[in-house]
Structure 1
Amino acid sequence: MGDLFSSMEPAPADERRPGDDRAPSAGRPLADRLRPTRLAEVAGQDHLVGPEGALTRMLESGSLGSMVFWGPPGTGKTTVARLLAGATDLRFEQISAIFSGVADLKKVFEGARVRRAAGQRTLLFVDEIHRFNRAQLDAFLPVMEDGTITLIGATTENPSFELNAALLSRARVLTFRALDEAAIESLLARAETIGCRPLPLTADARAALVAMADGDGRASLTLAEEVWRAARPGEVFDAAQLVEVVQRRAPIYDKGQDGHYNLISALHKCVRGSDPDAALYYFARMIDAGEDPLFIARRLTVMAVEDIGLADPQALQVANAAKDAYDFLGLPEGALALANAVVYLATAPKSNAVYMALAGARRAAKAGGSLMPPRTILNAPTKLMKAEGYGADYQYDHDQPDAFSGQDYWPEKLGRQHFYEPSQRGFEREIGKRLDWWERLRRERRGGQG
């Protein structure tokens, strides 16, 4: 799983057929031919390899420590590791966590020990390092500590979640960014220089190709190669033809990993922040990427009870109705039912009063222990329980004026508590008025006592 680079390496003459101008190379893949030979040539990562970049400063200090490279595919992680090894005279060794086990690690570590004894240090690059389990990750710790290897692990997933704390405490995490439009354009321009022919695309189609790459430099060059292969002499594709030629590249999205949680978090916060347009945008991205619509429906239900609550009691009904409609309709129409729920929830009045009240009640319940409710409100199905005072002096609220007795329902040791503070938004404004009224009645019927 190599990464994509931005230098310009001319094709050897024996790899190009005379008169063949339909593709930049008849041999190695274009992404391989554009690998840089210096860190400064890596596209889109100036914060790491630019004049003031973290890796530039590290090399200037003369000391290279273990690192974790975190970022999306096609951003240069593998290449940067190779170039770092070359810049520091370290032996470059590469393994993939997908294909390697403990036995493979032992062989790599032993080879590194032999080289170290001979005065040669090793930079070990581990692709997809998050695929290793905890025991395998722990195996790196002693060889990192004694200097047998300098580890560089590459991952597309959040290291905080996927790597153990012991390894992270010994390695610096550096973030690789998705390539922006300018970086992708730079790669395409270099590819055109090597191919001695411009991409046969209109301006709109070229912009569409850059968007299809989705920040992945390697993908942009793969798409460019497909365009060159498909174009007949003199043919120029517009945006619609481009989609037909290369099909549509799926967005970078793993339903079980980081992208999944990032987008649902964004959707939730947009609903909470009452921005229906932004909420629809993230909803559309999830649906477009193939997310399970029922997962989205469950999260919408969470938003209804957590962020809207009783400010709009219909929010929960709308969320549940959208889920039922999706079950009945399926895609694509079912997505519209969920979109209706997204907009309704985003535009509903917001309150987390019940959410906060429940949290407070649970804290009180844990702190108070197994306190007995007042005997007044306990049933007395036996004579013994009646004799013990169970149910004595209970006032049936429906028989009282205003159907309200104002009795004290709290354990005596705990005393009356206050958890729920309704907001002044939506329906909760009316709930607040009721609570104030009942509190006044309670005080009156207790002679002014709270």
Structure 2
Amino acid sequence: MSDLFEAAGLGPKPKGAAGEPAAVDDRARPLADRLRPARLEDVVGQDHLVGPDSPLGRMIRAGRLSSLILWGPPGTGKTTIARLLAAAAGYDYEQISAIFSGVADLKKVFEAARQRRRMGRRTLLFVDEIHRFNRAQQDGFLPFVEDGTVVLVGATTENPSFELNAALLSRAQVLVLNRLEAPALELLLARAEALLGKPLPLTPPARAALLDMADGDGRYLLNLAEELLTLEVTDALDIEGLTEIVQRRAPLYDKAQEGHYNLISALHKSMRGSDVDAALYWYARMLAGGEGPLYIARRLVRFAVEDIGIADPQALVVANAAKDAYDFLGSPEGELAIANAVIYLATAPKSNAAYTAYKGAVAAARETGSLMPPKHILNAPTRMMKDMGYGAGYAYDHDTADNFSGQDYFPESMERQKFYDPKGLGFESEINRRLERWADLRRKRREEK
């Protein structure tokens, strides 16, 4: 069986003091725990963090760790990375959970770390769900991080910029872990099969459906695999059989493959074509297929800025509100908020004028990126800058007729460009009226000079 362990990239089985097997039966441990990598480079799906030239690789080569915040979805390897990082750098490892730990627990951890430091040993303190500590508790880490008592590694599934104190963030590097994609999940399944010495009893389509059920969560995938690997079946399970065993409906399409892109394209183009009923149908199909509602909500936000834009400025507000409502309510109530947004966006006036204008401005900026603004719109905080003509001749629009000076704000050596060309639909009809009026006034100002 040892060659199976090596092929799967796993470390040796636990040994007792005399080299004998550990007293605790290894089979009693959850499969996900038994499959924890023994080396940092064996962590799957996070090559950008654990490779030789990655931030963690450089820390290990230097032999000195910095405090970190590991931000990523559940089951992506945050705890494993913290353990392996401590082992690779030769640090003592302490782990607490913000859910189950209080001030007394923290005091014990810090005192133990202080004692180790006196003996020349360093401590890596891993705090799971660190965002669940309140602001005062988070501040409590600061003196122990600053004086080197501990190297703090916090794990969070929430955006650190919203959930963690600025003072704590300023003392830690934030590393983002990726959701595990199909190749990484498939590697985990191969390791599980190698460890237990038998393949999963699944047909290829059912195996693909199992990966979809995991939704990027490696721990959840291994829990499902452990359940399946204990089965005694004569024939491989199909999708229906898999669904019956794990009591979770298999997605109707593979979220990482063609079906996923076909359906999101159908939803997007139905809304662009103002076919509200078709849009609702494709939205419902995606939900039935197991698609994450927040993925759909993000697509609606993108649609609002790309395909509606200024034709209906409320479109972006509605799309963002639907995303926030789902975040707050969850399923199934939050799915109705997204349905409301689908209806609003499909029935809104459409315009890609803002999108086209932005692309045109980006192209022009790349071509003329070194041109200075005209001097009349530059501030002149020093005497030398005033003598150089900074700010000279600037007309304060509020002091001019019609609150419009008609001055040119492009670089002096660049001709005026027209990037934004509203289509006159929805609110853009009002924008069109304003732009035409300002263009007339600008011509009059030039003729008056």
TM-score range, shorter chain: 0.5 to 0.7
Q: Write the distance in 2 (CA, Å) between the matches of 1:175 and 1:333.
A: 31
Q: Rate the CA distance shift 1:334–1:313 in 2: closer, same or farther, 3 A.
A: closer
TM-score, normalization: structure 1?
A: 0.61
The equivalent of 1:416 in structure 2 is 402
Matches within 5 A, 1:1-400: 7=10, 26-229=27-230, 231-248=231-248, 284=286, 289=292, 307-309=308-310, 311=311, 338-345=341-348, 348-350=350-352
User: What displacement does 1:155 show?
Assistant: 1.0
Alignment check: 8 A CA contact 2:97 2:127 kept: yes
- Structure 2 segments unaligned to the other structure (5+ residues): 1-7, 15-20, 252-263, 323-332, 356-397, 406-417, 442-446
Q: Rate the CA distance shift 1:226–1:432 in 2: closer, same or farther, 3 A.
A: closer
SS of the equivalent of 1:103 reads: helix
User: What displacement does 1:13 show?
Assistant: 11
Q: Rate the CA distance shift 1:55–1:335 in 2: closer, same or farther, 3 A.
A: closer
SS of the equivalent of 1:87 reads: helix
User: What displacement does 1:152 show?
Assistant: 0.7
Q: Write the distance in 1 (CA, Å) between the matches of 2:119 and 2:293.
A: 53
User: What displacement does 1:343 show?
Assistant: 3.4
Alignment check: 8 A CA contact 2:113 2:149 kept: yes
Q: Write the distance in 1 (CA, Å) between the matches of 2:249 and 2:22.
A: 32
User: What displacement does 1:414 show?
Assistant: 7.0
SS of the equivalent of 1:69 reads: strand
Runs of at least 4 residues of structure 1 off by over 4 A? 8-16, 273-291, 306-309, 312-316, 330-338, 350-353, 412-415, 428-442
Percent sequence identity over matched residues?
A: 49
Alignment check: 8 A CA contact 2:201 2:233 kept: no
Q: Deviations over 1:260-316 (max 9, x none)?
A: xxxxxx99xx89x9699999779956996567x9xx7xx98x959x9545x479989
- Structure 1 segments unaligned to the other structure (5+ residues): 17-24, 252-265, 323-329, 354-411, 443-447
Alignment check: 8 A CA contact 2:279 2:342 kept: no
SS of the equivalent of 1:416 reads: helix
Q: Deviations over 1:348-400 (max 9, x none)?
A: 125679xxxxxxxxxxxxxxxxxxxxxxxxxxxxxxxxxxxxxxxxxxxxxxx
Q: Write the distance in 1 (CA, Å) between the matches of 2:128 and 2:249.
A: 23
Q: Rate the CA distance shift 1:76–1:308 in 2: closer, same or farther, 3 A.
A: closer
What amino acid maps onto 1:348 in structure 2? K
Alignment check: 8 A CA contact 1:423 1:432 kept: no
Alignment check: 8 A CA contact 2:128 2:155 kept: yes
User: What displacement does 1:439 show?
Assistant: 9.4
How many residues are aligned here?
343
User: What displacement does 1:426 show?
Assistant: 3.5
Alignment check: 8 A CA contact 1:71 1:155 kept: yes
Q: Write the distance in 2 (CA, Å) between the matches of 1:440 and 1:155.
A: 52
Q: Write the distance in 1 (CA, Å) between the matches of 2:85 and 2:191.
A: 23
What amino acid maps onto 2:233 in structure 1? P
